[in-house]
């Protein structure tokens, strides 16, 4: 059987402290209408990356609404996840040559068949996240359930060969969910199309309020100087996050702000074989520079430490080249931390109004904006306040739960 992630129940009524009570009331009504419906999310890893981050909060909150919901994780060896990583990259416009060969495609299909045979099928609705498990409906004989595919990447300009390989599997789903309408490939036919951006959980250890003064003190325990300015990027170690661009930005800004520190904080996941190579390459580069630090889950840096970094830093960066959504943007803004981010994918959704002035498209522009915020902490504070309110109104977990349960209700009524 596929591994089921063990999770408890989280009190969703706490959100009444942050959001209008009408939204929570609506969730309770939706859940009552879906009482008895069995729901299962499926993805490729229980830790690392945005999907695992979402599900670890989402599942316990939905359970508190009285619904039967689980989370299953598919199996795969390094070769399988190398194939799925290549599909992931190709969906975002990367090179799709790796998926052309018959042997490669056969490897994806054979592992998908094994996972389909091992999954617990005792559910009414399956929500399959990203390309790794996308072929499960094809190889499953569970014909009565409703199947939803959730695409978390920017698939607006996919590599054509990779997309044509994946598209027939996606067209077997009852619905396909994208972060933004522009991510929907124009030739996708069959599934009902829905758009819903992700959301954060402000009560999780990663987002709960921590005193900034305490967080600055904690930086010293991690080897940084709490008296010197700090910029950070929190992300997976991935080419699309442009970590080397961030390093170059730091070196440009440091010419004007001597002693400026940079922390690259990330996680490595079991479904991403490329991340370890990227992690090693980053280390080789930053070993030359005493003011740049690299932290990861390999060295015990988890959600609470990420919270400390996002709360304590002077400016957060998310220099993504392509991005599905970028949960770390919402996380940093929720902590009232000023953000400079790539004008890519779902990031502009999170940075509206004055914050949109800090969407960048080059290293030079990024360095200019970071330097300005370091030199004008009052402006940075105002942006942080505006950002937190924008996230509160649009990107907290109850809104995502409402979107998904509404889609499930609609599919079951068909």
364 and 406 together in one domain: no
CA 342/CA 366 separation, integer angstroms: 8
Please report how many Cα atoms fall inside a 13 Å half-sphere around the Cα of residue 304, on the Cβ side: 5
Q: From the centroid of its chain, how far is CA 150?
A: 12
Whether residue 330 contacts residue 395, with contact meaning beta carbons closer than 8 Å, is answered with yes
The C-alpha R_g of the chain, in whole angstroms, comes to: 21
The confidence score (pLDDT) of residue 414 equals: 82
Distances (CA, A) of 259 to 140, 218, 235, 289, 292: 57, 19, 23, 11, 10
Residue 142 pLDDT class (50, 70, 90 cuts):
confident
DSSP state letter for 391: H
- List strands edge to edge, sheet with 315-318: 292-296, 261-266, 230-234, 315-318, 339-342, 359-360
| Domain match, 173 and 232 both | no
- 352 shares a domain with 403: no
How far the first Cα of the chain sits from its last, in Å, is 30
Which domain range does residue 71 map to? 3-199+397-413
pLDDT of 343: 98
Contact 222, 307 (CB under 8 A): no
Record the tokens describing residue 136, joined without a space: 């499960």
* Domain contains 381: yes
Specify whether the CB–CB gap between 233 and 316 falls below 8 A.
yes
Q: Is residue 406 part of a domain?
A: yes
Q: Is residue 204 part of a domain?
A: no
Q: Give the Cα separation of 260 and 374 in Å (integer).
A: 10
Q: Where are the alpha helices (DSSP H) in 226-273?
A: 243-254
**Which whole number is the average pLDDT over 102-128?**
95
Q: Do strands 192-195 and 230-234 pair parallel, antiparallel, or not at all (unpaired)?
A: unpaired
Same domain, 240 and 378: yes
Q: How many domains does the chain have?
A: 2
- 14-27 per-position pLDDT tens digit: 999 999 999 999 99
Residue that has been written with the tokens 């709960």 in this structure? 208
Same domain (yes/no): 179, 267: no
At 250 the pLDDT is 98
Query: Both 50 and 192 in a single domain?
Result: yes
β pairing state of 230-234 and 261-266: parallel
- With pLDDT > 90 as the criterion, what percentage of the chain qualifies? 89
Q: Does 269 map to a domain?
A: yes
- Does one domain contain both 408 and 383? no
| 144 and 285 both lie in a single domain | no
Q: What are 286-313's pLDDT values in tens digits?
A: 998 999 999 998 888 999 999 999 999 9
115 and 189, same domain (yes or no): yes
H/E segment holding residue 24: helix 21-33
267 and 192: one domain? Answer: no
Average pLDDT, the chain: 95
**Residue 231, domain CATH:** 3.40.50.2000
Angle at 264 between CA 86 and CA 337, to 5 degrees: 110
Residue 373 lies inside a defined structural domain of this protein: yes
**Could you tell me the pTM of the whole model?**
0.95
Q: Are residues 139 and 224 in the same domain?
A: no
Q: What gap in Å lies between CA 307 and CA 334, rounded to an integer?
A: 11
Flag the least confident range among 31-45, 54-68, 93-107: 93-107
- Domain shared by 256 and 125, yes or no: no
115 burial via Cβ count (<10 Å: 0-12, 13-18, 19+): buried
- Whether residue 150 lies inside any domain: the answer is yes
Residue 206 inside a domain? The answer is: no
Q: What percent of the chain has pLDDT over 70?
A: 100
**Count of residues for the chain?**
414
Report pLDDT for 178.
98
Domain assignment present for residue 205? The answer is no
Q: What kind and span of H or E run contains 397? A: helix 397-413
269 touches 52 (CB < 8 A): yes
Can you tell me the distance from the alpha carbon of 36 to that of 34, in angstroms, rounded to the nearest whole number?
Answer: 6
pLDDT at 95: 83
């Amino acid at each position: 059987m596929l591994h089921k992630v063990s999770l408890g129940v989280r009190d969703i009524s706490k959100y009444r402290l942050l959001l209008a009570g009408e939204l929570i009331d609506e969730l309770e009504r939706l859940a009552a209408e879906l009482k008895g419906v069995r729901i299962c999310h499926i993805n490729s890893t229980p830790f690392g990356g945005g999907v695992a981050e979402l599900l670890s909060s989402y599942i316990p909150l939905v359970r508190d609404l009285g619904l039967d919901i689980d989370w299953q994780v598919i199996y795969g060896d390094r070769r399988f996840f190398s194939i799925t990583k290549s599909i992931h990259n190709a969906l975002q416009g990367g090179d799709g040559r790796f998926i052309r060969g018959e042997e490669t495609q056969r490897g994806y299909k054979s592992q998908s068949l094994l996972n389909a045979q091992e999954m617990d099928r005792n559910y009414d609705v399956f929500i399959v996240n990203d390309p790794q498990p996308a072929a499960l409906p094809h190889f499953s004989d569970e014909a009565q359930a409703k199947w939803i595919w959730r695409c978390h990447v920017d698939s607006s300009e996919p590599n054509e060969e990779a997309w044509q390989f994946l598209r027939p599997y996606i067209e077997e789903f009852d619905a396909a969910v994208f972060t933004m309408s522009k991510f929907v490939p124009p030739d996708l036919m069959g599934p009902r199309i829905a758009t819903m951006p992700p959301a954060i959980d402000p009560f999780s250890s990663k987002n709960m309020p921590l005193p900034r003064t305490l967080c600055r003190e904690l930086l010293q325990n991690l080897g940084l100087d709490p008296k010197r300015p700090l910029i950070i990027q929190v992300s997976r170690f991935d080419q699309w996050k442009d970590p080397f661009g961030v390093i170059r930005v730091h070196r440009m800004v440091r010419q004007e702000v001597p002693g400026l520190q940079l922390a690259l904080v990330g996680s490595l996941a079991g479904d991403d074989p490329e991340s370890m190579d990227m992690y090693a390459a980053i280390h080789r580069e930053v070993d030359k520079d005493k003011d740049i630090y690299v932290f990861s889950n390999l060295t015990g840096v988890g959600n609470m430490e990420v919270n400390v970094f996002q709360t304590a830093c002077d400016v957060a960066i998310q220099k993504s080249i392509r991005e599905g959504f970028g949960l770390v943007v919402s996380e940093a803004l929720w902590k009232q931390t000023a953000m400079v981010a790539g004008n890519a994918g779902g990031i502009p959704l999170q940075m509206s109004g004055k914050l949109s002035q800090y969407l960048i498209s080059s290293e030079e522009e990024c360095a200019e904006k970071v330097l300005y915020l370091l030199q004008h902490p009052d402006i940075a504070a105002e942006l942080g306040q505006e950002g937190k309110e924008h996230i509160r109104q649009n990107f907290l977990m109850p809104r995502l739960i409402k979107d998904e349960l509404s889609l499930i209700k609609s599919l079951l009524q068909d």
